[in-house]
Structure 1
Amino acid sequence: MLEVLAILSAAAAGGLRLALPLLLIGLLQGEQLWSQVPLLRHCSPYWVVGVLAAWSFLEIFLSGNLWGYRFIILVQLCFSPLVGALLGMTVATATDTPQWLIATFSGLFAFVLQLVQVGWFYRLGKLPRWVIVGQDILCALLILFALRAPKQGGLIALLLLWLAVRSAKDWQQRHRYSRRRRLNS
């Protein structure tokens, strides 16, 4: 059960950001770097650090500009299932569950969280800077919890899933209400 919570925590981090959780999980592994991450273990660690650090800085600095944030959100939406799957498979080391099932589950979880972020972006316009910083902090905490305290990380991930479901339900109710108003007018 703890491993499922760790997978949820890692996948949730992949649903918030792309490069930061991969960068943290590699750096927290010590000298091995990305030897446990399925696709990244075949690449040079120097290239992986450079690309992930560069993308992390792009996520931070381009989020200040509206067009830059739209670009970041589009890339995150496309690649969040892959990053969620990689993170889930990295954290799931001692389970008998097939890797494809872990990858599918964690990739879908990351994709759902990313879809909710896109929905909030288009609902609110531009997210405030403090929300973006909060996402980065939460992403780092989720990776730390996935590796060190999976129970707490999994509970945070389940809370994020609950917020995602509540947001989707709220958007659906608002859409129905606005549609009824247009039909009655």
Structure 2
Amino acid sequence: MIELLAALSAAAAVGVGRIALPLLLIGLFQGDNLWSRVPILSLIHPQVVVGVLTSWSLFELFASKKLLGQRVLQIVHLLFSPIVGAMVGVTIAQMTEAPGWLIIVISVVGGLLALVLQLVQVGLFFRLRGLPLWAVFVQDALCVALVLLAFDAPRQGGLIAMILLWLAIRSSGDWYRWYKQSKRLPAKNGYKSNPD
């Protein structure tokens, strides 16, 4: 159970809005092994991985503060968050020496959690016409905190991930009602403005 909570915490860090930073932190926490347990990244030379992840983390950090950068990041994160969420889930599960069948379950759950959280952020982005600066700083802090909790306090990290999932499900219902209401309003106004 601890393995699942730790993996949920790491996957939520990916879903919160950053892709490279969780992978960078996970590699650094592994010590001398670096990314030896991370799928795909273990096949690439560690110096190349460090360079790419550091560059992309800096790009995410600075691009997320501007509207155009947020749009670009939304597209990239929407495409890659399920993959990276599954990767960090597998990595955390392998570090805790979980059985093989549980690693598969954790990778699927981690990928889906990252995707759901990312979809909610895309909806929030379009509803607000861009994320406010304070929300971007909260994303950065929450991303780092969730990765740290995955290693040091997996129960608390998993609990935060479950709260984020609950908020995502709740807000998606609110957004659906808002969307239906916004679709109905123009039709009513158009109907009233036309004479019989």
- Using the size of structure 2 for normalisation, the TM-score is 0.90
Q: Which residue of 2 aligns with 1:3?
A: 3
Q: Which residue of 2 aligns with 1:42?
A: 43
Aligned AA for 1:25? I
Tell me which of 74, 87, 98 is aligned to 1:95: 98
Is 1:105 matched with 2:109? yes
Is 1:21 matched with 2:25? no
Q: Aligned partners of 2:186 and 2:132: how far apart in 1?
A: 31
In the TM superposition, what is the alpha-carbon distance from 1:98 to its structure 2 partner?
A: 4.6
Q: Aligned partners of 2:31 and 2:22: how far apart in 1?
A: 15
Matches within 5 A, 1:1-185: 1-16=1-16, 17-93=18-94, 94-96=97-99, 97-185=101-189
Q: Aligned partners of 1:178 and 1:65: how far apart in 2?
A: 27
Q: Aligned partners of 1:141 and 1:63: how far apart in 2?
A: 18
Aligned AA for 1:158? M
SS of 2:84 mapped into structure 1: helix
Alpha-carbon deviations, 1:55-81, whole Å to 9, x = none? Answer: 011111112222221111100110001
Aligned AA for 1:169? G
Aligned AA for 1:107? G
Aligned AA for 2:130? K
Q: Aligned partners of 2:169 and 2:102: how far apart in 1?
A: 27
% identical aligned pairs: 53
SS of 1:165 mapped into structure 2: helix
Q: Which residue of 1 aligns with 2:193?
A: none
Alpha-carbon contact 2:41-2:49 (below 8 Å) kept: yes
SS of 1:92 mapped into structure 2: helix
Structure 2: 5+ residue stretches without partners? 190-196
In the TM superposition, what is the alpha-carbon distance from 1:7 to its structure 2 partner?
A: 1.2
In the TM superposition, what is the alpha-carbon distance from 1:88 to its structure 2 partner?
A: 0.2
Aligned AA for 2:113? F
Structure 1: 5+ residue stretches without partners? none
Q: Aligned partners of 1:179 and 1:118: how far apart in 2?
A: 19
Greater C-alpha radius of gyration: 2
SS of 2:64 mapped into structure 1: helix
**Please, what is the CA RMSD of the aligned residues?**
1.3
Aligned AA for 1:33? L
Alpha-carbon contact 2:11-2:111 (below 8 Å) kept: yes
SS of 1:35 mapped into structure 2: coil
Aligned AA for 2:57? S
